[in-house]
Amino acid sequence: MNQGRPPSPFFSKLGEKAGNLKIAQDVEEGLLHGKAIVALESTIISHGMPFPQNLRTAKEVEAIVRENGAIPATIAILDGVACVGLSDTQLERLAKLGSKAQKTARRDIPHVVATGGNGATTVSASMFFASKVGIPVFVTGGIGGVHRHGEQTMDISSDLTELGRTPVAVISAGVKSILDIPRTLEFLETQGVTVAAYKTSEFPAFFTESSGCKVPCRLDTPEECARLMHANLTLNLGSGMLIAVPIPKEYAASGNLIESAIQRALEEAKKKHVTGNAATPFCLPE
């Protein structure tokens, strides 16, 4: 996708750090020349798996993006500076920090920056920085959503409100299976977020291809995806969109097996009083 956007006001010269945000040179050059750029989160690196598996995975994901003709822009906050695009050295540092890097959603950004801390950005924080510099496409595994029993706890991920106010297209394998998927989709509708699925009419459930929930929009080709993103941006709706791509059949786990494991994990989390943004890393398998 030729983004063709003017450079962000956060920088003025190639590779120059301005304030509390720095853009990697290859990402900045890509922005200036309208090249395809894919934003990536960093929470999966620091909180998703142990070192060195997390570093290998991060490099593999970036390599896949490059092999398909785009520039990867992994986002994180290091020493109080938001970095859009990380070097191999920075990736390794983040991977070794692990959970010592703060899990950073939009609400946490001012604190991490003000204290000169290290933050691994979630979907909401990554979307925020991607939009600030003009990157309209963000890829992740699964977004956050409405937690089970969310009607009582009001535990709703900031990923959803970010999608409602930030014009970035999020490509994912759906919503994490530990969440309440029907209520998550209802919340996204209330936020005015376009939800589509790729080559299916049913919303995928992260580990599995099917959630039992229908999507209002089906896309069958990359060109259809691009047209949808283009329409959203040119209409200036101000909101993002979610394009869910099912996990390939050969990697899809048994839905019943996963659901059983989720129920056990949720019960254990309840007993140990694990709530808020700690619930997802606690419940998801390593």
At 11 the pLDDT is 43
User: And the tokens for 17?
Assistant: 């750090």
Q: What is the pLDDT of residue 284?
A: 59
Work out the angle between the directed axes of helices 123-133 and 158-165 (0-180°, nearest 10): 20
Mean pLDDT is lowest, of 12-16, 18-22, 178-182, 185-189, for: 12-16
pLDDT of residue 61 exceeding 80, the answer is yes
- pTM of the predicted model as reported, rounded to 2 decimal places: 0.85
- Average pLDDT score over the chain: 88
- pLDDT greater than 70 at residue 191: yes
Residue 116, phi then psi, degrees to nearest 5: 65, 30
41 is catalytic: yes
pLDDT 10s digits, 210-265: 888 999 999 999 999 999 999 999 999 999 999 999 998 888 766 667 767 777 87
**Catalytic residue (one of 28, 41, 62, 209):** 41
In this predicted structure, which of 32-46, 102-116, 200-214, 217-231 has the lowest mean pLDDT?
Answer: 200-214
State which amino acid sits at residue 35: K
Residue 75's identity, in one-letter code, is: I
Residue 178 clears pLDDT 70, i.e. is over it: yes
User: Max alpha carbon distance in the chain (Å)?
Assistant: 54
Mean pLDDT, range 148-175, rounded to an integer: 92
Q: What pLDDT was estimated at residue 85? A: 98
Q: What angle do CA 268, 271, 275 make, to 5 degrees?
A: 85
Q: Which of 22, 28, 92, 176 is catalytic?
A: 176
Q: For this structure, is 199 an active site residue? A: no
Structure tokens that stand for 137 in this block: 């496409």
Asked whether the predicted pLDDT for residue 18 surpasses 60, the reply is no
Going along the chain from its start, the domains and CATH numbers come out as 1-139 (3.40.1790.10), 141-286 (3.40.1790.10)
